Amino acid sequence: MFDVGETLVDETANWERAADEAGVPRFTLMALVGAAIERGDSHRWALDRLGIRPSRSAFLHDHWYPDAVACLARLREGGLIVGAAGNMAVEHEELLRPHVAFATSSERLGVEKPAAGFFERLAGLAGVEPARIAYVGDRVDNDVLPALAAGMVAVHVRRGPWGHLHEPPEDAICIRSLDELPGALPA
């Protein structure tokens, strides 16, 4: 199971689009997103601080990392059921569906990460025991720790701002590229 933002798609373009749409300097918005990370807050803190509300389309996940689609294909070819989920709007699911067995959003589930209910619902969608699910994400607080708490295998990808600022616990798998993922997963 993949977290979408900063794991599969490079959200830099989305943040730039949001800044442009709101009429604020890109650097200002990104600096405040970095401050939110350091504070342990949601990215919404940066938006609130600037008093902006970008449109839903500003965050349309459409800039895939170069290793993402190939990794998804390798995992599927290896017989794994691959899903994608994240704190995102329903509209984003359609961009993912051609590459995964199922895609869902926090909006559809009615609960956002890091809430336990998000991970419980994912296990229900996957139809397998949580211990048979690997949840791959860039954030320790939003992805790795709650996945571990849900009984899943947690994989931390060191990419995006959160991926480089957070240190995963020892019981998480840590990778720098999705190219490493198929070989890093337990048999």
Whether residue 159 sits in one domain with residue 96:
yes
**Count of CB atoms situated within 10 Å of the CB of 148:** 19
Residue 146 has pLDDT above 70, yes or no: yes
Q: Are residues 69 and 47 in the same domain?
A: no
User: How confident is the model over 22-55, as pLDDT tens digits?
Assistant: 999 999 999 998 898 888 888 889 999 999 998 8
Instruction: Measure CA of the first residue to CA of the last residue in the chain; give whole Å.
Output: 16
Instruction: Name the pTM for this structure.
Output: 0.89
What domain range is 17 assigned to? 12-59
User: Each residue of 3-17: pLDDT tens digit?
Assistant: 877 788 888 888 898
What pLDDT does 58 receive? Answer: 80
Are 175 and 96 part of one and the same domain? yes
CB 150 within 8 A of CB 123: yes
Check whether residue 69 and residue 53 sit in a common domain.
no
**Mean pLDDT over residues 103-114, rounded?**
95
87 and 152 co-located in one domain: yes
Residues 74 and 98 in one domain: yes
With 80 as the cut, is the pLDDT of residue 177 above it? yes
DSSP state of 63: -
Q: Does residue 46 sit in the same domain as residue 68?
A: no
